[in-house]
Structure 1
Amino acid sequence: MKWLKRLTAIALFLLLLGGAALAGLYAWLAPDLPDVETLKTVQLQTPMRVFSADGKLISQFGEKRRIPVEIQEVPKPLIEAFLATEDARFYEHKGVDPVGLVRAALAVAVSGSKVQGASTITMQVARNFFLTREKSYIRKVREIILALEIERVLSKDEILQLYLNRSFLGNRAYGIGAAAQVYYGKELSELTLPEMAMIAGLPQAPSTQNPIRNPKAAMQRRNTVLWRMKDAGYITEAEYQEARQTPLTARYHGAEIELYAPYLSEMVRDHMVETYGEEAAYTQGFDIYTTASATTQQAAQQALLANLFAYDTRHGYRGPEATLWSTDGDSAWSEAKIVAHLKNVRRYRELYPAVVIAVDEQEAQVLNAEGERLTLTWEGLNWARSYISDTRQGPAPKRASDVVTAGDQVWIRRQEENWWLAQIPQASSAFVALDPNSGAILALVGGYDFGQSQYNRVTQAKRQLGSNIKPFLYSAGLEHGYTLATLINNAPITQWDRSQGTAWRPRNSPDVYTGPTRARQGLAQSINVMAVRMIREVGIDNFIQHALKFGFEPGDFTPSESLALGSASATPMENARGFAVFANGGYLVEPYFIERIERSTGEVLYQHQPKIVCPECERAIQEAVPEDAPAALANQCPWPEELLAPRVISEQNAFLIKQTLQSVIWGGGDWSAGTGWNGTAWRAARLLNRRDIGGKTGTTNDARDTWFSGYGPGIIATAWVGFDDHNRRLGRTGWSPYGSEDQITGGESGAKTAGPAWNLFMQSVLDGVPEQSDPVPEGIVTARIDLATGKLSSRNDASSRFEYFIEGTVPTEIADAAPTEENLFEQELSEELF
Structure 2
Amino acid sequence: MITLALLATLIAVGLVRVNAWIAATDLPGLVPDTGIEVVDREGRLLRAYTVEDGRWRLPVRLAEVDPGFIDMLVTYEDRRFRTHSGVDLRAFARAGWQALWNRRIVSGGSTLTMQVARLLEDSGTGAWGGKLRQIRVALALERVLSKDEILTLYLHLAPYGGNLEGIRAASLTWFGTEPRRLTAAQSALLVALPQAPNSRRPDRFRGAARLARNRVLDRAIRFGALTETEITWARRAPIPSARRDFPALAPHLADRVVQDRPTATRHDLTLDAELQARMETLAAQAVQGRDTRLTAAIMVMDHRTGALRASVGAAAYSDDTRQGFVDMTQALRSPGSTLKPLIYGLGFEAGLIHPESLIEDRPIRFGSYAPQNFDNAFRGELSVRRALQASLNIPVVSLLDAIGPAELLTRMRRAGMRAELPPGDPGLAIGLGGLGTRMEDLMQLYAMIARGGNAAPLRIRTEDPSGEGTRVLSPVAAWYLGDILSGVTPPPNAPRNRLAYKTGTSYGHRDAWAFGFDGRHVVGVWLGRADGASVPGAFGADIAAPLLFEAFARLGTDLAPLPPPPLGALTVPRAELPPPLRRFRPQGGGARDTDAPEIAFPPDGAVLAGSADLPLLARVDRGTPPFTWLWNGRPVATGVFDRQVDLGSTRPGFVELTVIDAEGRAERGFLEIAR
| Fold shared per TM-score above 0.5 | yes
Residue by residue over 1:618-670, the C-alpha shift from the partner in whole angstroms, topping out at 9 and shown as x without a partner, is xxxxxxxxxxxxxxxxxxxxxxxxxx32112222332333333345x0xxxxx
- Of the candidates 676, 687, 694, which is equivalent to residue 494 of structure 2? 687
SS of 2:339's equivalent in the other structure is helix
Q: How far, CA to CA, are the matches of 2:513 and 2:114 in structure 1? A: 64
> Which residue in the other structure is 1:271 paired with?
257
1:586 aligns with 2:453: yes
Aligned to 1:630: none
Residue matched to 2:550 = 760
1:567 corresponds in structure 2 to: 434
Separation of aligned partners in 1, 2:223 and 2:107: 26
CA-to-partner distance for each residue in 1:162-206, whole Å, 9 max, x for gaps? Answer: 54664223345445565455445576865446x655444333332
Alpha-carbon separation, structure 1, partners of 2:522 and 2:80: 64
Is the CA contact (8 Å cut-off) linking 2:295 and 2:324 kept in structure 1? no
Output the CA distance in 2 between the equivalents of 1:50 and 1:74.
25
Matches within 5 A, 1:35-184: 49-53=37-41, 57-62=45-50, 63-65=56-58, 67-70=60-63, 73-75=66-68, 79=71, 83-84=75-76, 86-87=77-78, 94-98=85-89, 118-129=109-120, 132-133=123-124, 140-151=131-142, 163=154, 166-175=157-166, 179-180=170-171, 182-184=173-175
Aligned: 1:544 with 2:544 = no
2:270 is the counterpart of 1:290? yes
Amino acid at match of 1:806: G
Preserved CA contact (<8 Å) 1:470 1:566: no
* Alignment equivalent of 2:513, drawn from 695, 707, 719: 707
Structure 1: distance between partners of 2:490 and 2:576 = 28
Q: Does the 8 Å CA contact 2:299/2:524 hold for their aligned counterparts? A: yes
1:429 partner SS: strand
**In structure 1, the residue corresponding to 2:340 is in which secondary structure?**
helix
Amino acid at match of 2:260: E
Q: Is the 8 A contact 2:517 2:523 kept in 1?
A: yes
The residue identity in structure 2 corresponding to 1:661 is: L
What amino acid sits opposite 1:59 in the alignment? Answer: R
Whether the 8 Å contact between 1:708 and 1:751 is mirrored in structure 2 is yes
Aligned equivalents of 2:547 and 2:163: distance in 1?
Answer: 40
The verdict on how the C-alpha distance between 1:767 and 1:435 changes in structure 2, with shifts beyond 3 A counting, is closer
Q: Which moved more, 1:132-141 or 1:561-570?
A: 132-141
Cα separation, 2, equivalents of 1:542 and 1:239: 75
Question: Is 1:609 matched with 2:596?
Answer: no
- Measured in 1, the distance between the counterparts of 2:554 and 2:188 equals 47
Distance apart, 1:809 and its partner CA: 8.8
**Alpha-carbon separation, structure 2, partners of 1:163 and 1:306:** 43
Structure 2 distance, partners of 1:702, 1:647, is 34
Alpha carbons 2:301, 2:523 under 8 Å: kept: yes
1:748-792 per-residue CA deviation (whole Å, 9 max, x = no partner) reads 4221121111222334548644645522323657464399x9876
Cα separation, 1, equivalents of 2:388 and 2:292: 32
Q: 1:83 to 1:591 in 2, by over 3 A?
A: same
Percent sequence identity over matched residues?
A: 24
Q: CA deviation at 1:479?
A: 5.0
- Taking the TM superposition and a 5 Å limit, the aligned residue runs for 1:279-358 are 280-281=264-265, 286=266, 288-292=268-272, 294-295=274-275, 297=276, 300-301=279-280, 304-305=283-284, 307-309=286-288, 312=289
Equivalent in the alignment of 1:661: 485
Instruction: Give 1:455 shift.
Output: 3.5
**Rounded Cα–Cα distance in structure 2 between residues aligned with 1:699 and 1:234:** 69
Q: Which amino acid aligns with 1:808?
A: P
Matching of residues 331-480 of structure 1 within 5 Å: 425-452=292-319, 453-455=323-325, 457-480=327-350
Question: Is the partner of 1:547 in helix, strand or coil?
Answer: helix
Q: Distance in 2 between matches of 1:712 and 1:443?
A: 16
Query: Structure 1 pair 459/172, CA: closer, same or farther in 2 (3 Å)?
Result: same
CA contact (8 A) 1:431 1:458 kept: no
- Asked whether the equivalents of residues 486 and 790 of structure 1 are also in contact (C-alpha less than 8 Å), the reply is no
In structure 2, the CA distance between the partners of 1:689 and 1:201, relative to structure 1 (3 Å rule), is closer
Structure 2 equivalent of residue 492 of structure 1: 363
Shift of 1:510: 2.0
* Residues 53, 289 of structure 1: 8 Å contact kept: yes
SS of aligned partner of 1:775? coil
Aligned counterparts of 1:226 and 1:434: Cα–Cα separation in 2:
48
What's the secondary structure of 1:210's corresponding residue?
coil
Residue equivalent to 2:590: none
Q: Deviations over 1:76-105 (max 9, x none)?
A: 8x7467655x45665675433446667888
Bigger mean CA deviation after superposition, 546-555 or 210-219:
210-219
- Whichever residue aligns with residue 778 of structure 1, its letter is G
Q: Which residue of 2 aligns with 1:482?
A: 352
Relative to structure 1, the CA distance from residue 129 to residue 289 in structure 2 (aligned partners, 3 Å threshold; closer, same or farther) is same
Unmatched 5+ stretches in structure 2:
51-55, 584-629, 641-675
2:415·2:455 contact (CA, 8 Å) conserved in 1? yes
Secondary structure of residue in 1 paired with 2:239: coil
1:776 corresponds to: 566
1:651 equivalent in alignment to 2:637: no
For 2:540, the equivalent position in structure 1 comes to 750
1:792–1:812 contact (8 Å) kept in structure 2? no
CA distance in 1: counterparts of 2:74 and 2:58, whole angstroms = 20
Deviations 1:535-584 (A, max 9, x none): 33333333333333222224346622321321112111111211222221
Amino acid at match of 2:353: T
Q: Secondary structure of 1:460's match?
A: coil
1:417 is matched with none
Alignment-mate amino acid for residue 520 of structure 1: R
Gaps of 5+ in 1: 314-423, 498-503, 596-606, 612-643, 666-681, 733-747, 794-803, 814-834
For residue 213 of structure 1, report the CA deviation from its aligned partner: 3.5
Q: CA deviation at 1:464?
A: 0.7
What is the count of residue pairs matched by the alignment? 578
Question: TM-score when scaled to structure 2?
Answer: 0.69
Residue type of the partner of 1:563?
I
Report 1:518-529 matches (<5 A). 518-529=383-394
**Root mean square deviation of aligned Cα:** 5.0
Q: Is structure 2 residue 420 aligned with structure 1 residue 555? A: yes
CA contact (8 A) 2:296 2:313 kept: yes
Q: 1:275 to 1:756 in 2, by over 3 A?
A: same
CA distance in 2, matches of 1:578, 1:267: 20
Residue 470 of structure 1, CA deviation? 1.6
Change (3 A) 1:775 1:241: closer
SS at match of 2:407: helix
Which residue in the other structure is 2:371 paired with? Answer: 506
What TM-score, normalized by structure 1, do the two folds share? 0.58
| Distance across 2 between alignment mates of 1:541 and 1:244 | 71
Please give the alpha-carbon distance, in whole angstroms, between the structure 2 residues aligned to 1:203 and 1:218.
Answer: 11
Q: CA deviation at 1:443?
A: 2.9
Kindly indicate whether the alpha-carbon contact (under 8 Å) linking 1:127 and 1:143 is maintained by their aligned counterparts in 2.
Answer: yes
1:64 counterpart SS class: coil
Partner of 2:575: 785
Q: Does the 8 Å contact 1:304/1:429 carry over to 2?
A: yes
